[in-house]
Each structure stands twice: as structure tokens, then as C-alpha cells.
Structure 1
Amino acid sequence: MGPAAQQVELSVEDSTPFVLVDGAVLRANPGQQTLLVRGDGDLFAAYGRTADMQAWLSDATYTAIDLDTDGEPTSTVVEPAVQPEEGEPAEGETEQTGRNPAGSDLWLDSFSESDQLITDMQLPEGMSILIAKDGTEPAPSDIMVSWPVDRSTPLVGPLITAGGIVLLVGLVLYVLAIRHQRRGRGPRRKGPGPLPVTEPIDLSVEPAPVREALEEPKDADAASGSDSEAAADAKEKRTERRALKGRRLLVLPALGLAGLMFAGCSSDSWPQFDAATPTPTPTQTVITPENQKPPAVTQAQASRILQSISATIEQADADRDIDLAGTRLSGMALDARSTDYTLRGTLADREPPAAIPTEAIEVLLPQATDEWPRTVLVLSKSKSDDTIAPTILTMTQADPWSNYMVTNIAEMQASTEIPQLAPAWLGTSLITENAAAFLTLAPDELATAFADVVDSGEKSEYYGSFDPVALSLADSIVQSRNAVTQALADGGAAETSQAAFDVAPSDDPAVAMATLDSGAIVAVSLVDQEKITPKTSDAVIRFGENPEAKALTGAEEASNGVVTTYGLQLFFSVPSQGSTEQVRLLAVHQDILNVEVIK
């Protein structure tokens, strides 16, 4: 039996921090690919799209291993195509350090081991694998790829069985032939020979004399009887021995045949006809457009990224570390965390923000692109805790060297219906200003339109464009404003102070991702400001029972007034032009952003 695997050693002539092995090298032979990397210290390997890895390595020197014209692996040193940005070295740092590939969101999967790394994979076309240590030390040069060799013999079992059957038939025929031959050895009588020639009778011949019978002695009769009995006994014994010998001839080969057929017959010695065949699952037919770009992330990749984001934010919330939170949050989502950390540093009974659920990704809508920035929409929920509301968010990767940052995040009601979306393996497009004309409301106009509904109510020209859920949210904002005004009146401060309100789009750009019905899911953010100022110079605004204002301003009162800023993060489903549907509110999240004393 030959070897169980075919092995190829990948030679690395020059030492560089990274080794990029093209997927064609691993697909040089059929079967599952096993990668073996050996070296001193921590070893790292990751696989992903070849174009993405080349973009990540575009500012670094690395070794590329590919197949030459003869199909043999060859290594080439690739110089940086993009010059890295020059910056001042940190304190105590004398030279530029490398970039550690561990933890990047760009990889589809990654592996880390010490001294020896072994992993099985089956890379499809367009994939490559990156091998390194920490991005500074030379990458390991002891790299080997192996493929399993099929040593199964599926015809051995059938052939042995057929041979055993033929052998058994031959043995039966052999025994029958012996039996037939033995039966044919019984006593036979010879027929009379040829008659003599007839001659004439001579009457003159005298008749033969009559003889007297001879009497045998009695002792001779007894001896003759005993000899016949002994002969009969010997013949019977010989017959029994022959019969026993025939049975042995039949039994011994049968036992040998059973041992041949059943000893050492494994599943590899038989054809496998009962292999499980996957049952296709009916899905919606989606026609892939020509020149379709790959999705920004896969399902497994998105799950890993979401878990990393959730764990990082949860740790930052526990430590109130805004710098750590800034590695995964941006825009209004980061501003809200900064305010929350300040408040929880003063207010001991304030609950931390809810963690992002990661147990199940209900919706994954990645942008189909091979460029940057890249945007992904995710809807996740918790399976073990029904009190945690499903969370919808958008995350963006600015460049190949950056991780995904959450830009918009909000909570959904369980009964909210999501419009029809493209499957995750296909992805969708990010709607730009040119494509916004196909929507009933352009993404950059959506926040302004909703703000006008809040301020003008039924008098707004956009009032009929929003569904009842969105109008209910607008009405609740108006009611909260009325509650502030009523509180001033109840406190006897209506004559000495006044309240003004304003809601407007924030500086964060809208994020719009196309749906299958030519509509879009649009994420926008608004800033809702509440300004309370005194009417006379003698009046002051006292914070009273407002612990948040005291914590954020560090004061008890404001002589010129106070401005409280709230942030609203909203997700809408916007229909296409010509549709009779309204703009539906999918999710909303509100945070206090700041309380500032007017100077």
C-alpha cells in the first residue's frame, strides 16, 4: 500500500515578515488541503480573498508563492506598491514596527499556534493564505502542504465475495464428483464371451463318467464364515472413513472461505451506495447581475466580527474606557457612549447600556464591492433572553487596515417586518446620490423630512409619507416637549423662563442599502435640542432634581440658560418611486448626548 498523503514543501528563499500562498498552490492536487507551518514562537495563518490580502499587503514587503508555468510552486519577493504613511515614532520607539495581522476583520478565518501550526482547509478559487508571526519578525520558512491519497479499494470486497462463491461451487461440484465416482465402483458382472463355433455332434463319443460329490470338512466351513465376516467389517470401516473424510473436505474449505470473506473487510473495501445526499432547500430565485462584485463579508466572517465588536464594547462599558470603545464605535454611537461613561462615573445607580446580542444573526446585508469603504447591515438577536430587543446596526470598514466600526445602532420591535433583501452570499449596493432618485425620499432628505414632521405635525408636506409607527414617534417627541413646558409652568417658572426646541439632521451621513423591491433601508441620525433660557437678567435656571444636568455640567444652576442635546438613531424602510407604500420606521434609539450651560 502506498503513502497516505502527497506532500509538497514550499521553499522560501528570502526572509520577509509575510508569506502569501496563492490558493492555486493548495489546489494543485485534489482533496482536502493540510497546511503545516513550523517555526519558533507564535505562528499565525489566515485565509481570505486574494485581492483583499494583496490590498492589506500593498504597503509591505512580502513573499508571494505561486505556481510557475510547469505547475511547480515558486516564491517571489514583492515590494510595497503603496508607500506607508510616515509618522513620528512613539516615545521610546526607535524604528518602525510591523503590522500584526492578528485580529483583522479582513480575514475569513485565522489560526494561531506556538512552534507548529496544522490546519485543514479547502480553499476555493480566488482565495489565498497569509502566513506570518507578528508582522515584524521574518515569517516561518518551514511550510508544507499535503493532500490525502485515496487508498480505498472498493472492488476488493465484491471480488473476494465472487471468488468465494466460485470456490464454494467448485468444492460442491468436487465432492459430488467424488461421490459419483465412489458410487460407480460397485460389483459388476461380465457378460458372456463369444460363443464357440458350432461343430457336428459325434454320436460315437462316450458320455462323461458320473462323479461323486466331494464333501467339505466342517472345520473348513467355519473358517470360511469367519473370513467373510471380517471382510465385511473391514469394508464397513473403510466406508465410514471415506464418508468422514468427505465431510471434512466439505467443512474445512467452508471455514476457510468464511475467514477469507469476513476478516479485514472494511468500508474502504466496498462501494458506498448509501452515501447521504444533501436535500436542496428551496430558496428565492435571485439572478446574479453581470460583473457582480463579491460581498464585503461572509456569514461566518460577519458572526466573528459581530462577536468581537460586542465583546470590545461590553469591556469598554464595564471599564468606562472611551478609547477602547472608539476602536469599534464612531459618530453618534460613540458620542452617546462618552456621555454615558461620564454619567455612570457620577451616578452609581445608572445602568450600563445593553450589550449587542450575538447569538443569532437574523439579517445580514453586506455591500457587494471590492473597494473601500465597505458597509454591512446586521440584525442580530438573543435566543436565550427574550427581554433583549433585536438590534440592527450598520458597520463600516474604512480601508484594508482598519476594523469595522459601528456607525448606527438601534433596537427593533419583534413584530417589525423587514423588507425583502438580497441573500448574504450575493450582497447589495450602497445607494449613492445618483441612485437616490429612484426612492420616494432621498436618503439625505429623509432626516430633514422626519424633523419637519416633528416640528410641523400634520401641516408638514411629508406627513403622509410616513407610516403610523413613525408618526407615533414624532408625536411622542412633541409630547415630551410639552411635558417640559408644563413642568416650567407647574414650577412657577413660566413667566421667568422659556423653552425652545429644535430637531435637525446630525453631521453623520445617511447610510442607504438597496432592497430587492428597488427600495432601501436607510439609517439616519438626528439631533434634538432643548434650550431653556431665562426671560430676565435676574432669573436663573436651577437644575433642581435633574442629576444628569448636574453631572454633565458640574453646576447647580445656569444664569444664561442651559441646552440639553439628545441623539436619535433611526432606521427606515423607504419604498421605490411609484410605490403606494409609506416610509416605515424599523428601529429607533435615543440617548442623551450633552448638557451645556450657555455662557
Structure 2
Amino acid sequence: MRFVLAIVAFVVAAVMIVAGIAQRTVFAPPSHIEAATSVSGDPRYLVIDGSVLNAHPGQQTLNVTGAPDQAKQVVAYGRTADMKAWLEDQKYVAVGYKKTTGALTTKTVTPKPAKGSDDKGGDAGSSTATPAPTPAPTATPSAGASSSGTGTAAQAAGPNPAGSDLWLEEFDGEAAQVTRMNIPDDVSVIVASDGQKAAPSQVTVTWPVDSSTPWAFPLIIGGLILLVIGIALYLWGLYTHRRSRGPRRKSGPKMPKLPKAPKYKPTAMIETTPRGRRSTRARVMLPAALIGALALTGCTAGTDAATTPTKTATPLTTEAPDAKDQLPPAVTVPQLERIVKRISESAAQADAKASADLAKARFTGPALQLRQANYAIRAKKADEPALPAIPASPIVLSLPQATDAWPRTVAAVIQTPKDAKGTAQAPLALTLVQATPRDNYQVEYAVSLEPKAKVPNLAPASIGSAVVPPDSKLLALPPAKVAAAYGDILMNGDKSQYASLFNAEGDTLRTQVGAEWKAKQKAAVPATASLTFTGAPGVGTDVAMATNDSGAIVWTDLTETQTLKVVEAGAEVSAGATAAALTGVPSSKTGIESTFGYQLAFYVPPAGSDAKITLLGFAQGMIGAKQIP
């Protein structure tokens, strides 16, 4: 028997070991699924929808090759709606996936003509909403037409996707050749060069496959264990067999058999248990009666508990907001961090060269106006301090607008590093605006927060905030009227009709350039001249973003003009070093008109609230000066 068991153990062990090894070799599953396609026609852009990349589970690996210039190839991904808005008037190739064959497909998408376009008899897809820029004609067009990415293709050149603030992530150059990502269905990938040359023509998408073999190792180990057991059984059987074949002694005479005892037969008097159908019926009746008694007892004892109603907790069901009805935030936090870093680098270059042209790339409105004036002053006044630099990080607060349209607004508060003396600096609050899908975010307001400023509760960055209309009557003061009201306070102080609406505590700008300061300036002017102040709303857009208490944070700007005028013939007034740098004259016999710009950030409470409008931060500086004719 031991030999039989040993043979069975050997056979089962061999089967298990072979099966385990086969799972790791012959029957091993593939490590990945791959789908590829070749794009013809030299398109400028390829778009891979998120549903294509999610055709199989797992992290996607995108491999692109065949670009005319590998250094200029770009792979970026962003929200599908944003990407279509960026492409708008551009022809592109949409890459799809056919599940039946497991292959990638391509389809050329031609933009529709803009409404009201003059398209007489032409193809509806041949006209674009915005004419694509065309390079200047070359002396040898035929030579350019023969090369890849030039000639006829160059005439269809479009915008360059590299460096766009619209993308959630971007890969350029060699880094774009192989990219790994894990994106949802509502995000798409764009593959392109610089908009002038053709996009990479070879696209391969790879998905990982679970190639693990969890039974291989247990089968091999179990087979080895059975093999050892089989060997042990074989050796044991062999040992026992050899011992059984040794010398044997002859047995003696057999013992006589003992007589058998008579069998016991019970008598009828001892048998007390009745037999037959009656006995069976009696045995069944006793348990049935017992069960019935117990059932009746249970009903009687449990009457109160069974008839008394008990309260059960009913789960409260709350309907979650439909994701389709909720607008997405304009940017994500990682996206905003990348945008702020780019703005910081661009601003540093513009500040270092004092170049107004470089500043236009990332500044607009009041922020650009103040920076241009500062560059002009520093060019002729060496001791004029530069404006605060834009820190790259860390972002301590981000408030994107919840929207899917343009223009888009994003607010961010950045922690400012300590100065050279180790003194802590006030955080910098930026208001960024993106005018169109192809424009990058620009700084419209850059203010330093007040030391005692308390920012109200805001919506999380993952949800975003709504923009309040400038004429909204749901606030204590419509956003469009905040600048004029505050300007009146700076002119008249507590006598202003709006003084009761604004909080004076912690307002350092009011102490710097308020009514008391203006009165001192007027008193210091000689009798031969006069000084007047006038205020007006600035050139910036009033931006208001809702807070959680139904209030709003309002960004606005105010201009204030100081007119120093000569009132006595032969008299002369000094322009001052700063105004002289802009006017080019140190003094004037007629007068000097200086204009100051104030970028302001307020918290405006909701209508009917007892809270007051509070100044959260500001930035100020001279933005213009001229000599009175």
C-alpha cells in the first residue's frame, strides 16, 4: 500500500510542478495590450479622446513617433471641452478605437464655418472661423513644398499648443515620445508639433495586463512537498518490505478452541416496550405535544414584545448634485501652480530688463499699467524701488471660477518670502484672467494683503466659485460702485456718504492717502500754487467672486489725479523726482498733473448684513504724469 501511495504522490507532484512551470512559461498571459495606427496626410493636430485611452483598464502609455522635428513635438492633455474650444477653427484628426478588432482608427474633423462667414458655394468645412496665420512667402516655394512640414502644409499652419495654460499636463520634445498617464473619460490628449509642421504620424497606445500567475508558485511548492512525501513513502515501504522477508521461527502446537457460550435470549416478561404501530404513535405524540406546549408558552410569554411597536431608524437619503449640472473649476491646483510658476518666470525677465513689451505677455489692465510706469520711472530715477516680484510658490489659497466659458478668472494668494533683512512680507494676492482658450492667463490685479485682513470662507478649489455680476444688488454695494464709493471716502473721510458702509479699522491705505493726508498736502503748498485731488474708477474690470456667506471678494481699481497748478504769474512749482522722471521736466511754470493708480481688493458682505465692506489688500503707485499746458 505504501508503494501505491508513493506512486500516486509522484504522479500528482509531477502534474503540479509541470502545471506551475507552464503557467509561468507556455501559458503565461501577455504583459500588455497594444494598439497602433499610422496617420496620413500630415495633419497638424491629433486628438485622442479619453474614452479611447480608457478602452482597457490600467495606466495608459502613449508612444508617438514620426514627427518632422522631434524637439518640437508636443503631447498634452486637458478637458475635452477645453481642447475642442482651443482647436475651434483648426482641422485635426480624431483617433478612435474599434473594440471588435482592437485597433486604432483615424477620422479627419473639419471645423464648421463661422456664422455669417462669406462662403459662396465652397465646402462648408473648408472655411474656418478665424483665418490661420500663414508664414511669409519664400523665394523658392517649390523647394519648400517638397520637404516635410512645409509648402502646402505650411499654409495650414495653426497655433502652437506648447506652453498653453489650458492643459492639465504637457510633455515637450523627447519627453513627449513616451508618456504615461491615467486620465478619465472627459479628458483628451492632443499630439502636435509647433502648429506649422506636421504632427507625429505614428501613434501607439499600450495598456498593462495583469500577467500575474498566483497559482504557479503554490503548485510548484505543493508539487515539491508531495514529491518529498512520495519519496518518504517509497523508502518506508521499501524498509518494511525488507524486514518482512527476514528469517521466521516455526510456531508450536495450536491451542484448543474454547467452547462457545450459549446465546442470550430475553423472555417475554422482561420486554416492556410495546411493539408495532401503537408504539411508534406513542413515541411521536410525546415530542409533538412537547413542541406544541413550548410554542404556546412562547406565544404567551412574548405577547407584550410582539405586539408593542418598535421604532426603526429610516436612513435619510440626500440627492447628490448631478456632476453634469455642476460647472468645472477653471483650473486645477497643480495646473494653477504651473501657471503661477510661468508667470513668476515671465515677470522676473520683464523686471530684470524693465521691458514693457515682455510684461505684456503676462500682465494686463491695472497691473500692467503700474508695471509699465514703474519701468519708465526706474529708467530715469535709479533709486526708485521696483515693484514686488511675483513669487512662484507656495500658493496658500486658490479660488478658480466655476465655468466652462471665457473669459475665465482665477484668484490665488501666494506666500511672499522674507526680504533681505529677514522681515516678513505680506502675502501677494493675484487675480488672473484668461480672455480666450488660446490666451494664457494674465495678471490683472496684484495686491499685497493687509496685515489684519481676514479672508472669508471660500469654496474649495476642486469646486470653484461663481462670478458675481458687476451690477448685482445681492451685495451691500454693487461691485461696479465699490471703487467710486471708496474714492469718495479717500477724498472726504468720515464726511463721505459711504463712510458707514466701509470698515475703517485696519485700512492702512486710508491713513496713507486719505482725507487727513490730503489736507496736509494742501496746507504745505505755497500761496503761489494750488493743489487739487480728483478720483475716478480705473481702466480695470470689476471682478467679484462669491464667498460661502453669499458675499463676494471684489477686485477693482481707482485712479486719483493730483493737480499742482501755478496760480501766480512768474511762480514755479517743482514736479518732484518721480513725476520728473515721467514728464522729463524737474519744474514747471504752469503746473504738474500726476496720476496715481490704486489696485484694491475688498470683501463685500451680502445685502442686509450688519458686516461692513473691508479692504483686504491694495497696490499703489504713480502711473502717469504730465505738464499742464
User: Hey, what does 1:440 align to over in structure 2?
Assistant: 476
Equivalent residue in structure 1 for 2:490, among 448, 454, 457: 454
User: Hey, what does 2:557 align to over in structure 1?
Assistant: 525
CA distance in 2, matches of 1:115, 1:433: 45
Equivalent residue in structure 2 for 1:75, among 67, 86, 106: 106
What does the per-residue CA deviation read over 1:140-169, in whole Å, with 9 as the maximum and x for residues that have no partner? 211111112221122333444444444455
- Is 1:149 equivalent to 2:209 in the alignment? yes
Which AA in structure 1 matches 2:178?
Answer: I
Which AA in structure 2 matches 1:326?
Answer: K
Alpha-carbon offset, residue 73 of structure 1: 3.0
Identify if the C-alpha distance between structure 1 residues 383 and 453 changes in structure 2 by more than 3 Å, giving closer, same or farther. closer
Alpha-carbon offset, residue 54 of structure 1: 1.1
Matches for 1:19-58 after TM superposition, within 5 Å: 19-39=46-66, 40-42=68-70, 43-58=73-88
CA distance in 2, matches of 1:313, 1:92: 35
User: Hey, what does 1:6 align to over in structure 2?
Assistant: 33
Q: CA contact under 8 A between 1:38 and 1:116: conserved in structure 2?
A: no
Identify if the C-alpha distance between structure 1 residues 15 and 176 changes in structure 2 by more than 3 Å, giving closer, same or farther. same
Identify if the C-alpha distance between structure 1 residues 156 and 383 changes in structure 2 by more than 3 Å, giving closer, same or farther. farther
CA distance in 1, matches of 2:138, 2:511: 57
Matches for 1:77-116 after TM superposition, within 5 Å: 77-81=108-112, 82=114, 83-85=128-130, 97-114=157-174
- Taking structure 1 as the reference length, what is the TM-score of the superposition? 0.78
Between 362-371 and 345-354, report the one with greater CA deviation: 345-354
Matches for 1:355-434 after TM superposition, within 5 Å: 355-382=389-416, 387-413=424-450, 416-433=453-470
Q: CA contact under 8 A between 1:14 and 1:63: conserved in structure 2?
A: no
Q: CA contact under 8 A between 2:450 and 2:508: conserved in structure 1?
A: no
Q: CA RMSD in A?
A: 2.8
Alpha-carbon offset, residue 15 of structure 1: 2.2
User: Hey, what does 2:362 align to over in structure 1?
Assistant: 328
CA distance in 2, matches of 1:335, 1:106: 26
Identify if the C-alpha distance between structure 1 residues 90 and 146 changes in structure 2 by more than 3 Å, giving closer, same or farther. closer
CA distance in 2, matches of 1:89, 1:191: 119
Alpha-carbon offset, residue 66 of structure 1: 2.2
Equivalent residue in structure 1 for 2:518, among 472, 481, 499: 481
CA distance in 1, matches of 2:612, 2:370: 30
Alpha-carbon offset, residue 59 of structure 1: 1.2
User: Hey, what does 1:137 align to over in structure 2?
Assistant: 197
Which AA in structure 1 matches 2:547?
Answer: T
Identify if the C-alpha distance between structure 1 residues 524 and 27 changes in structure 2 by more than 3 Å, giving closer, same or farther. same
Q: CA contact under 8 A between 2:44 and 2:157: conserved in structure 1?
A: no
Alpha-carbon offset, residue 310 of structure 1: 1.2
Which AA in structure 2 matches 1:595?
Answer: A
Number of equivalenced pairs: 502
Between 27-36 and 145-154, report the one with greater CA deviation: 145-154
CA distance in 1, matches of 2:494, 2:320: 41
What does the per-residue CA deviation read over 1:447-472, in whole Å, with 9 as the maximum and x for residues that have no partner? 12212222222222322222234654
Equivalent residue in structure 1 for 2:547, among 501, 515, 538: 515
CA distance in 2, matches of 1:542, 1:569: 27
What does the per-residue CA deviation read over 1:61-81, in whole Å, with 9 as the maximum and x for residues that have no partner? 111112358575321212233
Q: CA contact under 8 A between 1:41 and 1:115: conserved in structure 2?
A: no
Alpha-carbon offset, residue 516 of structure 1: 1.5
User: Hey, what does 1:17 align to over in structure 2?
Assistant: 44
Identify if the C-alpha distance between structure 1 residues 472 and 306 changes in structure 2 by more than 3 Å, giving closer, same or farther. closer
What does the per-residue CA deviation read over 1:212-243, in whole Å, with 9 as the maximum and x for residues that have no partner? xxxxxxxxxxxxxxxxxxxxxxxxxxxxxxxx
CA distance in 2, matches of 1:468, 1:131: 55
CA distance in 2, matches of 1:180, 1:576: 99
What does the per-residue CA deviation read over 1:5-42, in whole Å, with 9 as the maximum and x for residues that have no partner? 22111232332111111122211111111111112413
Q: CA contact under 8 A between 1:505 and 1:525: conserved in structure 2?
A: yes
CA distance in 2, matches of 1:590, 1:484: 18
Partner of 1:593: helix, strand, or coil?
strand
What does the per-residue CA deviation read over 1:399-455, in whole Å, with 9 as the maximum and x for residues that have no partner? 111111111110114653221111111111111146x22211211111122122222
Q: CA contact under 8 A between 2:418 and 2:424: conserved in structure 1?
A: no
User: Hey, what does 1:566 align to over in structure 2?
Assistant: 596
Percentage identity across paired residues of the two chains: 37
Matches for 1:342-361 after TM superposition, within 5 Å: 342-361=376-395
Partner of 1:119: helix, strand, or coil?
strand
CA distance in 2, matches of 1:522, 1:335: 19
Which AA in structure 2 matches 1:138?
Answer: A
User: Hey, what does 2:537 align to over in structure 1?
Assistant: 505
Identify if the C-alpha distance between structure 1 residues 30 and 93 changes in structure 2 by more than 3 Å, giving closer, same or farther. same
Identify if the C-alpha distance between structure 1 residues 169 and 437 changes in structure 2 by more than 3 Å, giving closer, same or farther. farther
What does the per-residue CA deviation read over 1:463-488, in whole Å, with 9 as the maximum and x for residues that have no partner? 22222346543233124323422432
Which AA in structure 1 matches 2:51?
Answer: A
Alpha-carbon offset, residue 369 of structure 1: 1.1
Q: CA contact under 8 A between 1:47 and 1:109: conserved in structure 2?
A: yes
- Taking structure 2 as the reference length, what is the TM-score of the superposition? 0.74
Partner of 1:300: helix, strand, or coil?
helix
Which AA in structure 1 matches 2:478?
Answer: A
Which AA in structure 2 matches 1:339?
Answer: A
Identify if the C-alpha distance between structure 1 residues 560 and 140 changes in structure 2 by more than 3 Å, giving closer, same or farther. same
Q: CA contact under 8 A between 2:450 and 2:507: conserved in structure 1?
A: no
User: Hey, what does 1:539 align to over in structure 2?
Assistant: 571
Q: CA contact under 8 A between 1:358 and 1:381: conserved in structure 2?
A: no
User: Hey, what does 1:275 align to over in structure 2?
Assistant: none
Which AA in structure 1 matches 2:597?
Answer: G
What does the per-residue CA deviation read over 1:152-200, in whole Å, with 9 as the maximum and x for residues that have no partner? 12233344444444445555555555555556566542213579xxxxx
User: Whose RCO is larger (CA < 8 A, sep 6+)?
Assistant: 2
Alpha-carbon offset, residue 514 of structure 1: 0.8
Q: CA contact under 8 A between 2:89 and 2:130: conserved in structure 1?
A: no
Which AA in structure 2 matches 1:462?
Answer: Y
Between 518-527 and 36-45, report the one with greater CA deviation: 36-45
- Is 1:189 equivalent to 2:249 in the alignment? yes
Identify if the C-alpha distance between structure 1 residues 170 and 96 changes in structure 2 by more than 3 Å, giving closer, same or farther. closer
Alpha-carbon offset, residue 52 of structure 1: 1.1
CA distance in 2, matches of 1:135, 1:289: 34
Partner of 1:20: helix, strand, or coil?
strand
